[in-house]
Amino acid sequence: MLFQLAGKNIWRNRRRTLLTETSIVFGVLVIIGSGNFINGMQRDWAGFEINANTGAFQIEHHDYQALGKSEPLLVTLENSAKLVESLSRIPGIRSAYGKLNFSGMVSSGHKSTFFDGQAVDVAGQRKTLTRQEDLIISGRPLADAPGGIILGADLADTLDIRIGDPVTIVVRTFYGGLNLTYGTLVGTKNGRHFPSSTYLEMPLSDAQKLLRVNDRVSQIVVGADDFDAIPALMQRTAAVLRNDKTGYAIRGYPELIPIYAQAIASFKVISVVVGLVLLLLVGGGIGNVMAMAVMERKREIGTLRALGMEKNHLRRLFLVEGLMIGGIGATVGLLAASALTGLIAAHGGIHLPPAPGTSQSLNIIPRMDLWMSGFGFLMPLLVSVIAAWWPASISANLSPVEALTET
Amino acid sequence: MRTPQKIGAHAARSLLLVVTLLLTAGIPLDSAAEQLTPLQILDRADDKWELNLRNATVELEFLVYRENALRKTYRMILKYQDTDHVLVETIFPPRNEGEKMLQAGRRNYWLFLPNINRAVRVSESNSLSNSDFSNTDLLSPRLSNEYVPKLLGIEKLHGDEAYKLELTAQNESTPYARIIYWVRKADYFPLRRDYYTFSQQLLKRLDMKASSPDMSGPDTFVMSSVLEQDKKTVIRYLKRTPGKAFPAETFRESALMKR
């Protein structure tokens, strides 16, 4: 009965109701849409980095973060091949490979400079980082054959060398002596994870021989297919490694991707602030509509009060009207945001060009974010009720005589 | 009456005495020198280099060449107590003034940077002031401590007869796996070193000479890199003040920042 009456009242001034609903729908659409966009961006960004750079997570010596910069070879993992093999057997892990971080001097024969190197198990990397090739600027990725070298694009420019040119690498070995090897530049690459001006990549077996560190790696990079199952997979892996006496540290992709966690947190805060501003505007609109309704319907209120309608009943009538306006707007907004999200996703998402200094473009496919959807749906309802409260109280407190005699 | 046997024994004793006296007096004898072991030759060559420096202060000039052009000039004061205790302080250019390299014991190297007022531990194979010399090349000249020598033969170098020694590292922590060392036969003056890595690749070459005949050891060192063409570093001793006694604190890492 109350809902029917409220519905009829809303329908009476259709133009005003439509304007109010439009503002609510727009507000809800922006809040849920931006939440879905950020959710999609978060997943696609993480997905790209996981498959091109970091893997789902990495396992390293527990002292690597403390000593890895000054003495990277002293905090390496021994018997890495066996460890990779045992990790690969854990359900949920697609593949794993070892990488070794080191530094030294690289020379073109005319110029020399320092490098920060990364030696990788080429076959394992190919299976684990399926988008690794996206980072290649020129030439090709490392092949299984020894002797290939990949340089950061800026480092290759500094040395003034081209694909196919020879390079000389000098390093300090695990034991402290100097060692030297020759290689051929097969490719240049660029990425957000390494400084292009110092990056050097070479096959793991070549580097282990050069550095005289048989079967040692700095990290084991783990690949997984199910993005949402990564936290559980990390826990399972930690449980397996706990039995080993070597102290391991496991670092997940949010920690491995530079500024990832901070960027996502910032985006979330921005979207919530934008949502709150929109809700204030929406709340103001609903309050205005309800206040106008009370002003215009004073004689009607007086009649209802004269016929014996209780104050609380009258207050509830206006609150239900506010709730219905908010509910319709929130529902339509949620449906519109979901439809728009699905439509953009079906058309391949939003393509973002590469950031300055990088070569990787990003394709963002928006995805439903349950938290932001809930926030975007429930907040208009709450705001509608709060905004309708004041006009509802005014209407309830009107005396029937005053209301009927007012012109 | 003296029998022929007695005369022969007397002559032999006399000859032995003359040879002993000559050796004691330090008169070089070619025949005696050829009997020196490779380690003795290496030790004498080490002495030629080190005795110039022991308990001395040396002002030296450091010239870094790239593409055959002089790119950087440094001046440094080297305080040398012995093969394990050396302090090098940069006095020129003003930008690097106050930088110090300390050897505070065998394989214990420290670099002090005045801008950040901090001393950081460095490796003996690290480059000295971005030159072609590593720390160990200049600061630890006694190769006999680290390498096992073998005489490969005698050959001519710069017109002089020279011992050609092959030095093999005693262990893998030594910066170079192998050094081929030419030492002048006449006076054990060090002439040239070729440094090889563990992969048996030639890394760099050091040529040494004396700027005047009065110098008993080398005072000019030219290090050429095989990594880059037309790249070398020249070190010249400008002034040597021998007979210095340094307080023990001079060679302590903890004292670097106080100076």
- Tell me whether A178 touches chain B (CB under 8 Å): yes
Cβ distance B123 to A172 less than 8 Å, yes or no, reads yes
**Tokens in use for A126?**
């190919």
- Tell me whether A212 touches chain B (CB under 8 Å): yes
A241 and A265 inside one domain: no
Cβ distance B125 to A180 less than 8 Å, yes or no, reads no
A85 and A175 inside one domain: yes
What domains lie within chain B, and their CATH numbers?
Answer: 36-76+122-249 (2.50.20.10)
Pick from A184, A213, A246: which residue ends a domain? Answer: A246
CA atoms of A174 and B233, how far apart (whole Å) = 27
Please report whether residue A57 resides in a domain.
no
Task: Name the residue facing A176 among B173, B197, B229 (closest C-beta).
Answer: B173
A77 and A206 inside one domain: yes
| Separation in Å, CA of B228 to nearest CA in chain A | 4
Asked whether the beta carbons of A377 and A402 are under 8 A apart, the reply is no
CA atoms of A73 and A175, how far apart (whole Å) = 9
Boundaries of domain holding A234: 63-246
B246 vs B258: which has the higher pLDDT: B246
Mutate to test the interface with B, among A180, A182, A214 (most CBs of B within 10 A): A180
**Tokens in use for A2?**
């109350």
A213 and A276 inside one domain: no
Number of cross-chain residue pairs from A and B with Cβ atoms under 8 Å apart: 66
- Tell me whether B229 touches chain A (CB under 8 Å): yes
A295 and A224 inside one domain: no
**Tokens in use for A231?**
């936290």
Angle between helices A260-296 and A14-49 (to 10 degrees): 170
Mutate to test the interface with B, among A178, A180, A206 (most CBs of B within 10 A): A178
Task: Name the residue facing A178 among B176, B228, B231 (closest C-beta).
Answer: B176
Task: Name the residue facing A112 among B171, B176, B228 (closest C-beta).
Answer: B228
A199 and A85 inside one domain: yes
- Tell me whether A359 touches chain B (CB under 8 Å): no
Q: Which residue of A has its CA nearest to B202?
A: A180
Cβ distance B199 to A178 less than 8 Å, yes or no, reads no
A326 and A227 inside one domain: no
B198 contacts in A (CB within 8 Å)?
A: 173, 177-179, 212
The total number of structural domains in chain A stands at 2
Side chain identity, residue A184: T
pLDDT at site B56: 93
Closest CA to A110 of A25, A33, A168, A181: A168
- Tell me whether B212 touches chain A (CB under 8 Å): no
Task: Name the residue facing B198 among A112, A182, A212 (closest C-beta).
Answer: A212
CA atoms of A165 and A162, how far apart (whole Å) = 6
- Tell me whether A103 touches chain B (CB under 8 Å): no
Q: Is A90 exposed, middle or buried (0-12, 13-18, 19+ CB in 10 A)?
A: middle
Strands A350-352 and A362-364: antiparallel
Asked whether the bond before B141 is cis by omega within 30 degrees of 0, the reply is: no
A151 and A102 inside one domain: yes
- Tell me whether B232 touches chain A (CB under 8 Å): no
Kindly state the DSSP code that residue A397 receives in the 8-state scheme. Answer: H
Q: How confident is the model at residue B183 (pLDDT cuts 50, 70, 90)?
A: very high
A320 and A235 inside one domain: no
- Tell me whether B171 touches chain A (CB under 8 Å): yes
Please report whether residue A147 resides in a domain.
yes
A199 and A267 inside one domain: no
B225 contacts in A (CB within 8 Å)?
A: 112
- Tell me whether A107 touches chain B (CB under 8 Å): yes
A176 contacts in B (CB within 8 Å)?
A: 107, 123-125, 172-175
- Tell me whether A181 touches chain B (CB under 8 Å): yes
Count of other CB atoms within 10 angstroms of residue A242: 8
Query: pLDDT tens across B75-100, in order?
Result: 999 999 988 899 999 999 999 999 99
Please report whether residue A273 resides in a domain.
yes
Count of other CB atoms within 10 angstroms of residue A306: 12
Cβ distance A176 to B201 less than 8 Å, yes or no, reads no
Pick from A195, A223, A246: which residue ends a domain? Answer: A246
pTM of the model: 0.73
Please report whether residue A253 resides in a domain.
no
* Maximum pairwise Cα distance, chain B: 88
DSSP track, A100-138: EEEEEEEE-SS-EEEEEEEEE-HHHHHHH-TTGGGGEEE
pLDDT of B12 over the 70 cut: no
Q: b vs e for B136-159, b when ≥16 Cβ sit within 10 Å of the residue's Cβ?
A: bbbbbbbbbebbebebeeeeebee
Which run of H or E residues covers position A4?
helix A2-12
- Tell me whether A175 touches chain B (CB under 8 Å): yes
A132 and A213 inside one domain: yes
CA atoms of A284 and A266, how far apart (whole Å) = 27
Please report whether residue A56 resides in a domain.
no
Cβ distance B197 to A178 less than 8 Å, yes or no, reads yes
- Tell me whether A138 touches chain B (CB under 8 Å): no
Q: Which residues pair with B79 in a beta bridge?
A: B57, B87
Cβ distance A107 to B227 less than 8 Å, yes or no, reads yes
Mutate to test the interface with A, among B108, B120, B227 (most CBs of A within 10 A): B227
- Tell me whether A105 touches chain B (CB under 8 Å): yes
| Separation in Å, CA of B26 to nearest CA in chain A | 38
Closest CA to B28 of B216, B185, B208: B185
Count of other CB atoms within 10 angstroms of residue B225: 20
**Tokens in use for A227?**
């993005």
**Tokens in use for B119?**
């001393």
Cβ distance A178 to B228 less than 8 Å, yes or no, reads no
CA atoms of B31 and B37, how far apart (whole Å) = 13
Closest CA to A170 of B180, B107, B132: B132
Please report whether residue A252 resides in a domain.
no
Please report whether residue A132 resides in a domain.
yes
Model ipTM value: 0.75
Per-residue pLDDT of chain A (407 residues; tens, 9 = 90+): 678 877 887 787 788 788 888 888 888 888 888 888 888 888 888 888 899 889 999 999 999 999 888 788 989 999 999 999 999 999 999 999 999 999 999 999 888 889 999 999 999 999 999 888 888 999 999 998 899 999 999 999 999 999 999 999 999 999 989 999 999 999 999 877 788 999 999 999 999 999 999 899 999 999 998 999 999 999 999 998 887 777 899 999 999 988 888 888 888 788 778 778 877 877 777 777 777 777 777 777 778 878 888 888 878 888 888 888 888 989 999 999 999 999 998 998 888 777 665 566 777 888 888 888 898 888 888 887 887 777 777 777 777 777 777 65
Q: Is the dihedral of CA B171, B172, B175, B179 positive or negative?
A: positive
Query: pLDDT tens across B119-172, in order?
Result: 888 888 888 877 889 888 887 778 998 999 999 999 999 899 999 999 999 999
A274 and A136 inside one domain: no
**Tokens in use for A146?**
């020894």
Please report whether residue A13 resides in a domain.
yes
CA atoms of B163 and A228, how far apart (whole Å) = 71
Asked whether the beta carbons of A395 and A294 are under 8 A apart, the reply is yes
Closest CA to A148 of A132, A129, A164, A135: A164
| Separation in Å, CA of A177 to nearest CA in chain B | 4
Cβ distance A177 to B173 less than 8 Å, yes or no, reads yes
